[in-house]
Amino acid sequence: MAPAAPIDQDAIGAVASEFGRSTTLPREAYVSEELFSWEAEHLFRRQWTCIGRTGDLVAPGQIRAVVLGDESIVLTRDADGALRAFANVCRHRGHQLLTPGDAVDARLIACPYHSWTYRLDGALRSAPTFGDWAEFDLSEWPLAAVRVADWHGWCFVDRSGEAPELDVQLGNLDEVVRGYEPGRLVTGARHEYEARANWKLLAENYQECYHCPTIHPEFCRISPWDSGIDIEPTGLWCGGTMSLQDGCETMSFDGRSHGVMLPNVPDEWRRQVLYIGVFPNMLLSPHPDYVMTHVLTPLAPDRTLIVCEWLFPPDAVERPEFDASYAVDLWDLTNRQDWTACEGVQRGATSPRFRAGPLGPWEGSLHQFLSMLADAYRGGPVRPPKVPEDGRVHESS
Ligand code: FES
Ligand SMILES: [Fe+2]
């Protein structure tokens, strides 16, 4: 059990109350440094969190160091592609093994201080001059393992080592995305944005389209803002589908796909786009012909890094005339409209007069996201959120 978050627990009770009576988060959720530190330690560290596409982070036979929160880890893949992760700290006297951000082709991890070397499975292979010490046993000094898993081509890490299995955390999300075959898709475009807004404002904004008629006229020409239908989750995620307008094939400025349709998308979703908030910080949007993701990395209470990636089937990307901009341009515009709106809320939250507000009938998925957050803030296990009683729900198959 995590300790309860340093936030007004009565206000969190109101957030967790039944849809129709519940509220948004109190002001401190967006401005408190203390809460930000709690989230780093007890939310992001204790859940499986997506850190990007496995194949882009580390190819077979490579090692790469990445920064996660206040620590660095080394990802390795052996020639067979097996993925592993370790603390980026030498077991001798603790030198960092690899500079964060660097990736190298290597069959061994070599410490730059006294040249201890480790295999890609973390085992200590050599420790110069230690062989002469009768008491020294290489097998007792492996790198500290970090829990890592590949899910449909995305790399997830549980730094606490204590989260339930990733399959348990995600529940039936696997059934939802399976038809899109994300594991075989390749990254066709990647944008990094920095928004001057708390990460939760970005996650909250993604869970509702009530704002779409106001700020996304281009989006609404392709997809009706009020077409959302929720899917009942059995894991820590929320969201559902939205329809495409008549005559539209996908989300693009002209509503047409200039790529290749994904062949195994379930029939009922061939003219739908899915919008899934994978708790806590991944926004997963499968389209009929591409999959878009946003991964949110909190930088400060009022600053968030957003990495947006567009994944396409290899047979689309391999075409000489392929141009990812058909999918990117509408979303880049929509993203910027969204960040501007979230930054406006962040500025509102700087006012001491900011108060939690009510959720309306088109904010049911947002209620689900907030109920997971409320579980975490209370220090308890985070439970799969219930679709509100009067919500629009897909029949479970
Ligand atoms: S600290 Fe790594 S070999 Fe000494
Ligand atoms: Fe939006």
Query: Which residues pair with residue 104 across a beta bridge?
Result: 63
pLDDT of residue 388: 79
Ligand closest to the CA atom of residue 338? 2
pLDDT of residue 389: 72
CA–centroid distance, 57 to ligand 2, in Å, is 28
pLDDT of residue 2: 87
CA–centroid distance, 375 to ligand 2, in Å, is 25
Question: Which residue lies with its CA nearest to atom 1 of ligand 1?
Answer: 93
Residue 198's nearest CA partner among 296, 283, 295 is 296
Residue whose structure tokens are 């939250």:
349
pLDDT of residue 132: 82
- Whether 113 lines ligand 1, by a CB cut-off of 6 Å, is yes
From the CA of 116, give the closest atom in ligand 1. 3
CA–centroid distance, 92 to ligand 1, in Å, is 5
Q: Are 384 and 278 in contact (CB under 8 A)?
A: no
CA–centroid distance, 199 to ligand 2, in Å, is 14
Q: Mutation test of ligand 1: which of 74, 92, 143 has the most ligand atoms closer than 8 Å to its C-beta?
A: 92
CA–centroid distance, 347 to ligand 1, in Å, is 47
From the CA of 111, give the closest atom in ligand 1. 2
Question: Which residue lies with its CA nearest to atom 3 of ligand 1?
Answer: 114
pLDDT of residue 1: 73
CA–centroid distance, 140 to ligand 1, in Å, is 15
What the block records as the tokens of 42 is 């007890």
Below-50 pLDDT ranges, the chain: 396-397
CA–centroid distance, 215 to ligand 2, in Å, is 7
Q: Are 313 and 262 in contact (CB under 8 A)?
A: yes
In angstroms, how far is CA 386 from the centroid of its own chain?
21
Ligand closest to the CA atom of residue 210? 2
Instruction: Give the model confidence (pLDDT) of 136-194 as tens digits.
Output: 999 999 999 999 999 999 999 999 999 999 999 999 999 999 999 999 999 999 999 99
Instruction: Give the model confidence (pLDDT) of 320-359 as tens digits.
Output: 999 999 999 999 999 999 999 999 999 999 999 999 999 9
From the CA of 97, give the closest atom in ligand 1. 2
What is the C-alpha to C-alpha distance for residues 119 and 103, in angstroms, rounded to an integer?
A: 16
CA–centroid distance, 66 to ligand 1, in Å, is 20
- Whether 92 lines ligand 1, by a CB cut-off of 6 Å, is yes
Backbone angles phi, psi at 20, to 5 degrees: 110, -30
Residue whose structure tokens are 């929509």:
334
Q: Mutation test of ligand 1: which of 89, 96, 98, 113 has the most ligand atoms closer than 8 Å to its C-beta?
A: 113
Ligand closest to the CA atom of residue 110? 1
Ligand closest to the CA atom of residue 129? 1
What is the C-alpha to C-alpha distance for residues 377 and 91, in angstroms, rounded to an integer?
A: 35
Amino acid at 186: V
Q: Mutation test of ligand 1: which of 86, 89, 95 has the most ligand atoms closer than 8 Å to its C-beta?
A: 95
> Regarding beta strands 291-300 and 282-286, do their DSSP bridges make them parallel or antiparallel, or are they unpaired?
antiparallel
pLDDT of residue 131: 85
pLDDT of residue 393: 62
Query: Which residues pair with residue 76 across a beta bridge?
Result: 63, 84
- Whether 111 lines ligand 1, by a CB cut-off of 6 Å, is yes
Residue whose structure tokens are 């700020």:
215
Got the DSSP string for 280-305? Answer: TTEEEEE-SS-EEEEEEEEEETTEEE
Strands laid side by side in the 71-77 sheet: 49-53, 154-158, 145-151, 83-87, 71-77, 62-68, 103-105
Ligand closest to the CA atom of residue 112? 1
Q: Mutation test of ligand 1: which of 90, 96, 97, 117 has the most ligand atoms closer than 8 Å to its C-beta?
A: 90
Ligand closest to the CA atom of residue 275? 2
